Amino acid sequence: SQQGEEDPQALSIQEGENATMNCSYKTSINNLQWYRQNSGRGLVHLILIRSNEREKHSGRLRVTLDTSKKSSSLLITASRAADTASYFCATDPVDNNNDMRFGAGTRLTVKP
């Protein structure tokens, strides 16, 4: 079963605008990761945030984590056409040593 659920399922913005995607999950986690997938390609790791962290930055990416609400957000600032991709959150549940759980993803389209 999926642990993370991204919202919205699809997002379309103009180049230069900011894009915000959200991820909600159900159980306590050790960490949460965001990945990007370009069409027809494998996933690429973007950023990892641990359960004791509240915010992390990497270039134009900003990730927040609210463990009390069991949610995370990914903000991409000053978006570019090259940011067009699907974005997935993946959670590392505390009570499951076997695997990470991926959401269904947010499909982001950035129009030039």
Q: Which residue bears the tokens 């056409």?
A: 81
42 binds other proteins (CB under 8 A): yes
Tally of helices (H runs) and strands (E runs) in the chain: 0, 11
Q: Which of residues 17-36 bind other proteins (CB under 8 A)?
A: 30-31, 33, 35
Are 57 and 4 contacting, i.e. CB atoms less than 8 angstroms apart? Answer: no
Distance in angstroms (rounded) separating the CA atoms of residues 57 and 106: 20
Distance in angstroms (rounded) separating the CA atoms of residues 104 and 23: 10
45 or 111: CB nearest other proteins: 45
Are 108 and 83 contacting, i.e. CB atoms less than 8 angstroms apart? Answer: yes
Q: Which of residues 60-99 bind other proteins (CB under 8 A)?
A: 88, 90, 92, 97-99
Contacting residue, 7, 20, 48, 109, with other proteins by CB under 8 A: 48
Contacting residue, 11, 19, 43, 49, with other proteins by CB under 8 A: 43
Task: Give residues in contact with other proteins (CB under 8 A).
Answer: 1-2, 4, 30-31, 33, 35, 40-45, 48, 88, 90, 92, 97-105
